[in-house]
Amino acid sequence: MTAGFDRLRLWVAAFAIAAGGSGATALADEGASPWDGDSRGAVRLIAGSWRDRASAPMRAGIEIRLKPGWHTYWRYPGDAGVPPRFDFAGSRNVGAVTVLWPAPRRMVEQGLSVIGYAEDVILPLLVAPRSRAEPVTLRLKADYALCEKLCLPAQAALALTLGKENSPWDGALTEASLRVPKRRTLGEAGELAVRSVRREGSAQGSRVVIEVAAPAGQGIDLFAEGPGPDWALPLPVAEGTAAGGRQRFALDLDGAPPGAKYEGAVITITAVAGSDAIEVPAPLD
């Protein structure tokens, strides 16, 4: 009787793994929540080790699994699409959660340029507990999109308790963190650097010209975000080489919400060159 039950239990477990299960059936790994999703895409939470309980934030991550040929969006989706939305309001003993975004890529979707991820990705999380003496439980409601030829809305509800001293996900979280663009200042020197941002033209037809330095022979991609999520700036377009070998990009000043002014607005430029990426705030003088 016991042997038959054990065989049945092993068969059910093997079936769940082979099927790639949803959040309701998938087996949880140590330090990770069960997957919530289907064969096209799924999401789970993973925990990092927490050895410094004095001041450092706890490390965690949102892991997104994508079927080959499918993609999801970055925090700013580009010409189309919707960015992921993450709600941690139901978490326990959590003061704040900061989501970090690894460098994305530019993709073509129905003739439009969009920004996102076409492979599995981990979004690192920095979690500030209210009390370091109490357990911390992350509860996440995620709304995101999964796209192939068509885009489908997806939701996930996840929960994971953090705080173990050792986690098998430390390496994966460190690798994902290294892909997050480094914060730099406008005009700062470096192999990859945004050297200048300037406006050209009249108020009715102005544009922004951006010059970027990069290692010789290295292709660059550039993304521009407005001061808030209600801005929808066009993607910068490469315009060739400027003085000193810098690569020149331009974008039309369009996409500000009603009543907003471009003068004095601070946009964010993200430059990606190979495995290197930087993020630079730039005022529109």
- CATH (one of 2.60.40.1250, 3.40.50.150, 2.60.40.10, 3.40.50.20) for 20-178: 2.60.40.1250
pTM summary value: 0.87
- Strands (E) across 2-149 are located at 36-37, 41-47, 58-66, 72-78, 85-87, 94-99, 105-109, 112-117, 121-129, 136-147
- Distinct helix (H) and strand (E) counts, the chain: 2, 19
Distance between CA atoms of 176 and 103, rounded to whole angstroms? 9
* The domains spanning 20-178 and 182-283 adopt the same CATH topology: yes
- Pairing outcome for strands 247-252 and 237-241: antiparallel
pLDDT score, position 12: 33
- Looking at residue 157, its pLDDT comes to 98
- Convert the pLDDT of each residue in 147-168 to its tens digit: 998 999 999 999 999 987 789 9
Which two three-digit tokens encode residue 270?
A: 């993200």
Domain borders along the chain are: 20-178, 182-283
Cα 134–Cα 138–Cα 140 angle in degrees, nearest 5: 160
CB-CB contact of 210 with 196 (8 Å): yes
Encode pLDDT of 77-111 as tens digits: 999 999 999 999 999 999 999 999 999 999 999 88
pLDDT < 50 positions in the chain = 1-27
pLDDT of residue 217: 77
The pLDDT mean for the chain works out to: 87
CATH of the domain spanning 182-283: 2.60.40
Pairing of strands 182-183, 276-283: parallel
pLDDT of residue 205: 67
